[in-house]
């Protein structure tokens, strides 16, 4: 059976009454789950497994995929409104989304996020459809040294995330990296900095850090400033109008980052988080006005939102074409497939074309649904910010507490949350930026593990990073991106002196 027949089979699945119904259910659930604290797509799909048992496999997968990309789609909401990223992929969204909301443009920020997500998701699906079988080779081209080089490149974002003192940004990043070292070391099994506590053995969860340093610290600040006269014109908060010039501003990052984000998403283990960070720094690097980034830049919001959704589509490449899970969520999806009696693997494409193409085609429909579902809701959701400050403060705090409790159902994590909230607040007091901290925390463990895996493979020789072309290329880009701006600056100075 040819590819065309497969696509037709898939279209039959996706456009059937049930297909449309289930994708609608999936993206609806996904949006809600993405907005709620602590309920990542992993948990949502995990609990769906026993429920979906006995369901038609096509429909179940269509729905679960919908939950997955729906959650990333909806996940930007709490980042933008509350500075509380619920999944790691939406941390970068808060960089410019939250300042924008603070300026009274919450509705617009949410609308930009929704449109960017839609573009990222749709372009991602198109690429997925055209290249899924071909990209399988790309997906497996990365070993530990390549991942190390890629993560290192992403880490250079610290330099561009610094406002004011570079030293302070670097210190903040180092501290984040140090926190990432807590827990059992993957390569030796040694417990590091756990002080004998079982709860620290698996390290500190991303949500504890994100909600603590970002959201709770923001809550503490709000407590101090709650009696000040509300800043910004709040009446227009729900307006979702995007002007033509704004659309034009979005078009560049959206088109570039949907492709780049997709490609990064294809790599198992990299995923939406890395994609969103790399998108953010590349756009800042090439922007004409990089100083706007971090202060509510439209480009700065568009880039990560496009990239993380495109990456979500990309993550389906290794899953569907190779049976290799590219992320925690796709690993659970893989488990869900197995319980339905389907063995995901390289043969899926030829043996179950209806499933393979059905899911892909349903993702087009899903993305349209997401846009249609989300846009009309935005004016209402953004009114959240109009809740009186005392009530808002209490509710955001509860939001953080439930979110963190939902990770492990262990009150220890809640104490940690409070501790990191205080740390985050103290960092603000001494004007250390928080973004490098969280970036280094997310990347730190992966960088450390990949460099040490590489060293084990090479019997302790550093040559492994120079011998492999992809690794070498990334390292050169990293060095250039760090060295070029200061060099160019020097040239300008010399010229001006002459």
The residue from 341, 463, 469, 495 that contacts another protein (CB under 8 A) is 341
Between 44 and 250, CB nearer to another protein: 44
Q: Give dist(CA 192, CA 200) in Å, integer.
A: 9
Does 380 interact with another protein (rule: CB under 8 A)? Answer: no
The residue from 3, 130, 134, 167 that contacts another protein (CB under 8 A) is 167
**Of the candidates 2, 1, 30, which has an alpha carbon nearest to the alpha carbon of residue 363?**
30
Q: Which stretch binds another protein (CB under 8 A): 223-231, 272-280, 287-295, 489-497?
A: 223-231
Opening angle at CA 211, ends 478 and 237, nearest 5: 95
3-state secondary structure of 410: coil
Q: Which stretch binds another protein (CB under 8 A): 8-16, 100-108, 250-258, 318-326?
A: 318-326
The residue from 345, 354, 377, 482 that contacts another protein (CB under 8 A) is 345
Distances (CA, A) of 56 to 24, 63, 339, 357: 16, 11, 11, 15
Least distance to another protein, CB of residue 347, Å: 5
The residue from 249, 283, 305, 448 that contacts another protein (CB under 8 A) is 448
Least distance to another protein, CB of residue 226, Å: 6
Binding pattern for the stretch 237-276 against another protein, x by CB under 8 A and - elsewhere: -------------------------------xx-------
Query: Using CB under 8 A, which residues numbered 405 to 444 contact another protein?
Result: 405-411, 414-415, 418, 421-422, 428-431
The residue from 236, 389, 477, 478 that contacts another protein (CB under 8 A) is 389
Least distance to another protein, CB of residue 92, Å: 20
Between 408 and 481, CB nearer to another protein: 408
Residue 420 CB-density burial (10 A; 0-12 exposed, 13-18 middle, 19+ buried): buried
List, in order, residues 6 or more apart from 403 with CB less than 8 Å away.
36, 37, 38, 84, 86, 207, 211
**Of the candidates 235, 308, 315, which has an alpha carbon nearest to the alpha carbon of residue 274?**
308
The residue from 343, 386, 467, 484 that contacts another protein (CB under 8 A) is 343
Q: Which stretch binds another protein (CB under 8 A): 10-18, 119-127, 305-313, 404-412?
A: 404-412
Radius of gyration of the chain (CA): 22
Q: What is 363-374 written as a DSSP string? A: HHHHHHHHHHHH
In the DSSP assignment, the letter for residue 385 is G
Least distance to another protein, CB of residue 466, Å: 15
Does 198 interact with another protein (rule: CB under 8 A)? Answer: yes
SS (H, E, C) 15-79: HCHHHHHHHHHHHHHHHHHHHCCCCCHHHHHHHHHHHHCCCCHHHHHHHHHHHHHHHHHHHHHHH
**Of the candidates 400, 429, 437, which has an alpha carbon nearest to the alpha carbon of residue 224?**
429
Least distance to another protein, CB of residue 336, Å: 8
Opening angle at CA 269, ends 195 and 112, nearest 5: 105
Between 227 and 496, CB nearer to another protein: 227
Between 126 and 175, CB nearer to another protein: 175
Does 16 interact with another protein (rule: CB under 8 A)? Answer: no
Residue 183 phi, psi dihedral angles, 5° rounding? 120, -175
Q: 334 is written with which tokens?
A: 């893989």
Count CA atoms closer than 13 A to 85's CA, side-chain side. Answer: 26
The residue from 63, 250, 340, 365 that contacts another protein (CB under 8 A) is 340
Least distance to another protein, CB of residue 6, Å: 17
Q: Which stretch binds another protein (CB under 8 A): 65-73, 189-197, 301-309, 371-379?
A: 189-197
Whether 34 and 72 have beta carbons less than 8 Å apart is answered as yes
Q: Give dist(CA 152, CA 444) in Å, integer.
A: 9
Place of tokens 């990089």: 290
The residue from 133, 252, 290, 323 that contacts another protein (CB under 8 A) is 323
The residue from 2, 4, 188, 235 that contacts another protein (CB under 8 A) is 188
Query: Using CB under 8 A, which residues numbered 82 to 141 contact another protein?
Result: 139-141
- The count of chain residues that interact with another protein, using the rule CB under 8 A, is 113
Query: Using CB under 8 A, which residues numbered 31 to 70 contact another protein?
Result: 36, 39, 42-47, 49-50, 53
**Of the candidates 496, 133, 171, which has an alpha carbon nearest to the alpha carbon of residue 316?**
133
Q: Would you tell me how many other CB atoms lie within 10 Å of the CB of residue 231?
A: 10
Rounded to 10°, the helix 17-35/3-15 angle is 70
Least distance to another protein, CB of residue 455, Å: 5
Q: Give dist(CA 290, CA 339) in Å, integer.
A: 49
The residue from 1, 4, 228, 495 that contacts another protein (CB under 8 A) is 228
Query: Using CB under 8 A, which residues numbered 271 to 300 contact another protein?
Result: none
């Amino acid at each position: 059976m040819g590819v065309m027949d497969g696509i037709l089979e898939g279209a039959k699945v996706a456009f059937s009454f049930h297909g449309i119904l289930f994708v609608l259910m999936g993206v609806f659930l996904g949006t809600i789950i993405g907005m709620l604290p602590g309920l990542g797509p992993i948990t949502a799909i995990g609990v769906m497994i026993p429920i979906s048992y006995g369901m038609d496999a096509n429909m179940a997968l269509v729905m679960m995929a919908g939950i997955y990309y729906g959650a990333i789609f909806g996940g930007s909401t709490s980042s933008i409104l509350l500075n509380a990223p619920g999944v790691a992929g939406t941390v970068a969204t808060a960089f410019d989304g939250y300042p924008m909301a603070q300026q009274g443009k919450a509705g617009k920020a949410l609308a930009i996020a929704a449109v960017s997500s839609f573009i990222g998701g749709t372009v991602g699906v198109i690429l997925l459809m055209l290249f899924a079988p071909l990209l399988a080779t790309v997906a497996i081209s990365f070993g530990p040294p390549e991942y190390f080089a890629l993560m290192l490149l992403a880490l250079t974002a610290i330099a561009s995330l610094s406002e004011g003192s570079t030293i302070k940004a670097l210190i903040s990043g180092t501290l984040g990296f140090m926190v990432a070292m807590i827990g059992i070391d993957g390569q030796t099994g040694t417990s590091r900095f756990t002080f004998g506590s079982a709860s620290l053995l698996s390290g500190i969860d991303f949500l504890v850090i994100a909600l603590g340093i970002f959201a709770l610290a923001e809550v503490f600040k709000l407590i101090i400033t709650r009696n000040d006269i509300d800043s910004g014109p709040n009446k227009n908060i729900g307006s979702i109008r995007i002007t033509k010039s704004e659309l034009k501003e979005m078009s560049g990052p959206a088109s570039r980052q949907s492709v780049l984000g997709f490609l990064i998403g294809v790599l198992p283990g990299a995923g939406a988080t890395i994609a969103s960070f790399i998108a953010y720094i590349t756009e800042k690097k090439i922007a004409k006005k990089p100083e706007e980034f971090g202060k509510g830049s439209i480009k700065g919001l568009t880039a990560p939102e496009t990239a993380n959704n495109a990456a979500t589509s990309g993550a389906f490449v290794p899953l569907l074409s190779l049976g290799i899970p590219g992320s925690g969520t796709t690993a659970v999806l893989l488990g869900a497939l197995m319980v339905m009696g389907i063995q995901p693997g390289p043969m899926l494409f030829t043996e179950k074309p209806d499933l393979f193409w059905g899911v892909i085609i349903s993702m087009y429909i899903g993305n349209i649904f997401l846009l249609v579902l989300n846009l009309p809701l935005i004016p209402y959701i953004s009114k959240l910010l109009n809740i009186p400050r005392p009530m808002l403060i209490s509710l955001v705090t509860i939001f953080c507490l439930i979110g963190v409790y939902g990770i492990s159902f262990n009150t220890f994590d809640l104490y940690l949350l409070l501790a990191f909230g205080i740390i985050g607040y103290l960092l603000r007091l001494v004007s250390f930026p928080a973004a490098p901290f969280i970036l280094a925390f997310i990347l730190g463990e992966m960088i450390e593990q990949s460099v040490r895996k590489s060293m084990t493979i090479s019997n302790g020789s550093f040559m492994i990073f120079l011998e492999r072309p992809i690794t070498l290329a990334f390292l050169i880009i990293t060095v250039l991106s760090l060295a070029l701006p200061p060099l160019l600056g020097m040239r300008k100075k010399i010229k001006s002196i002459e």
